[in-house]
Amino acid sequence: MRTSDFIEKRRSKRLGLSFPMKLRRLTDTGKGETIEAMTSNVSYEGVLISDINTKNIKPNDNLHITLSVPRDEARDFPFSRIVGSARVVRAEMETCALEFSEDVSRLCIAN
- Spatial separation of the C-alpha atoms in residues 72 and 70, rounded to whole Å: 5
pLDDT for res 13: 74
Residue at 92 is within a domain: yes
* CATH number of the domain residue 73 falls in: 2.40.10.220
Q: Is residue 3 part of a domain?
A: no
Q: Spell out the residues 6+ positions from residue 76 whose beta carbon is closer than 8 angstroms to its own.
A: 15, 17
Asked whether residue 111 is domain-assigned, the answer is no
Surface-to-core class of residue 6, CB atoms within 10 Å of its CB (0-12 exposed, 13-18 middle, 19+ buried): exposed
Mean pLDDT of 74-94: 84
Q: What is the sign of the dihedral through the CA atoms of 4, 7, 11 and 50?
A: negative
Q: How large a percentage of the chain has pLDDT more than 90?
A: 31
Tell me, what amino acid is at 60?
N
Consecutive H or E run containing 36: strand 32-42
Contact 44, 77 (CB under 8 A): no
Kindly state whether residue 110 falls inside one of the protein's structural domains.
no
Q: Residue 81: what pLDDT?
A: 85
Report how many domains make up the chain: 1
Range of 86's domain?
Answer: 12-105
Identify whether 89 is part of a domain: yes
Q: Indicate whether 64 belongs to any domain.
A: yes
pTM value is 0.78
